[in-house]
Amino acid sequence: MLIDTGDWRNDGEYVLQYLQRHNITRIDHLVTSHADADHIGGHAAIINYYETRANGIGAVYDPGIASSSSTYQRYLDAVEQHNVTLFKTQEGDHIQFEGATVTVLGPPNPYIANKERNENSIVLKVTYGKTSFLLPGDAAQQEEQYLLRQYDSSLNSTVLFAGHHGSRFSTSDVFLDAVTPQAVVISSAYDSQYGHPHEEMLNRLAARNIPTYWTAVHGIIVLDSTGEQITVKTQAEAPTNPQSLRSASPLDPGATAPVTPRTTIDVEGNDGSGGGPPTTTAAQTTTSSQPAGALQLTEVHADAAGNDAENLNDEYIVFTNTGNALLDLSGWQLRDAANHSYTIPDGVTLESGAQITVHSGSGENTNTDLYWNVNQPIWNNGGDTVIVVDTEGITVLRETYQ
């Protein structure tokens, strides 16, 4: 299934390159979220290529609201030229996809917002095992409100693709509270003429400590689901704190660097909803030399006695090795949601069952106590996220406290 094909100025170039690199020889389902040229820019090129040089397009799904652009006309011409099946697709339809459930939540029938294209985007919820993904196209305020009225907590999903490229009026507070995503993906240019993703939207994500991935700085983002876990892979290692995204360097959309595992999301429950707060996870990867699940966060003492800034050694977190083998923590990084980073010194190990405390203040490191040596508090009293990344770039622990 391919959902949208990129901006008209690229004519599907990057999307087609990606599909070819991964030996995708057929598109069973080509979904048009809506007719705007920044979403269907490569439709004609993709259809022409797969119908003439590969194994075809199974069907195209379209919300049924036309555009006057030449990009839209070329797309329809390609559909007609190659006699590709075209379905008008609205709420209540299902797309048959082996192994997964794909539910169409929008646009409604009848349309809303005077048939405005963004607000009548095809909205998909894809459920695979316990994991789920919500893809709202360019839905903004009005379609989000419709979805909330119709589905409410049923919107709950493991991963949310931010509506309308992270615009100011998309991904609202009430929408986020219904979806409760464990990660958000934003697709937009680094220098978007509309300022996407908007600061207000990023602040809403930051207030909920939601790890956020942005194509402009992370590059290609791959979400690999086993049905119980989702491994997040990206080309570039960049901050996932929404308020720190713009501090990262942009990545060329045509970059071909391989993706690297960054973190793994464990999903609780068995109903395919997959939302809720992140849980402590250990990334499962054949390249990691560390025993998965051995490092556990056992205490967060964020509220130091008296003035936090004047008592930094009383702000600390405690880790325990719950595994059966020695953990070599040399070079591992400890981070918070704001991407403050501390590198554990060489030679620091943790025996099975042993604990180590990391203080924010200054002192002499020992086998049981480490010191960050900062001059201001790190851990927010009202809640934060503790992240530990090993020397291979694998997130071995991520836990949010309130």
Distance (Å, whole) CA 107 – CA 188: 22
> How large is the average pLDDT for residues 1-17?
95
Is residue 163 included in any domain, yes or no? Answer: yes
* Six-digit token string for 172: 């609202």
**What is the pLDDT, as a whole number, of residue 207?**
92
Average pLDDT, the chain: 91
**What is the pLDDT, as a whole number, of residue 270?**
45
Residues 153 and 245 in one domain: yes
Helix (H/G/I), strand (E/B), else coil: 174: helix
Residue 106 in contact with residue 121, Cβ under 8 Å? yes
Residue 292 predicted with pLDDT over 50 = no
How many alpha carbons fall within 13 Å on the CB side of residue 46? 41
* Six-digit token string for 304: 């130091």
Q: What is the CATH number of the domain that holds 322?
A: 2.60.40.1260
pTM across the whole model:
0.70
pLDDT in tens, 193-224: 899 999 999 999 999 999 999 999 999 999 99
Is residue 176 included in any domain, yes or no? Answer: yes
Phi, psi values for residue 375, rounded to 5°:
-110, 15
Residue 262 in contact with residue 245, Cβ under 8 Å? no
pLDDT in tens, 304-357: 999 988 999 999 999 999 878 889 999 999 998 877 889 999 999 999 889 999
**What is the pLDDT, as a whole number, of residue 275?**
64
Residues 153 and 87 in one domain: yes
**What is the pLDDT, as a whole number, of residue 272?**
56
Percent share of the chain, pLDDT over 70:
94
pLDDT in tens, 92-141: 898 999 889 999 999 999 999 999 999 999 999 999 999 999 999 999 99
Residues 322 and 238 in one domain: no
Q: Which domain holds residue 351?
A: 295-401
**What is the pLDDT, as a whole number, of residue 276?**
58
Is residue 246 included in any domain, yes or no? Answer: yes
Residues 12 and 55 in one domain: yes
Residue 96 in contact with residue 61, Cβ under 8 Å? no
Strand blocks (E) in 121-201: 123-128, 131-135, 159-161, 183-186
Residue 157 in contact with residue 133, Cβ under 8 Å? yes
Is residue 32 included in any domain, yes or no? Answer: yes
More confident residue, 171 or 309: 171
- pLDDT-derived band at 271 (thresholds 50, 70, 90) equals low
Is residue 279 included in any domain, yes or no? Answer: no
Distance (Å, whole) CA 30 – CA 81: 16
Which range is least confidently modeled, 88-92, 270-274, 364-368?
270-274
Q: Report CA-CA distances (Å) from 394 to 62, 205, 391.
A: 39, 23, 7
**What is the pLDDT, as a whole number, of residue 375?**
87
Cis status of the peptide bond prior to 250, with omega within 30 of 0: no
Residues 203 and 71 in one domain: yes
Helix (H/G/I), strand (E/B), else coil: 330: coil
* Six-digit token string for 400: 């949010």
Helix (H/G/I), strand (E/B), else coil: 32: coil
Is residue 282 included in any domain, yes or no? Answer: no
Residues 128 and 78 in one domain: yes
Q: What do you get for the CA distance between the two ends of the chain, in Å?
A: 38
**What letters, b where the CB count within 10 A reaches 16 and e where it falls short, cover 68-96?**
eeebbebbbebbeeeebebeebbbebebe
Residues 231 and 344 in one domain: no
- pLDDT-derived band at 282 (thresholds 50, 70, 90) equals very low
Tell me the longest C-alpha to C-alpha distance in the chain.
74
- pLDDT-derived band at 285 (thresholds 50, 70, 90) equals very low
Q: What is the CATH number of the domain that holds 247?
A: 3.60.15.10
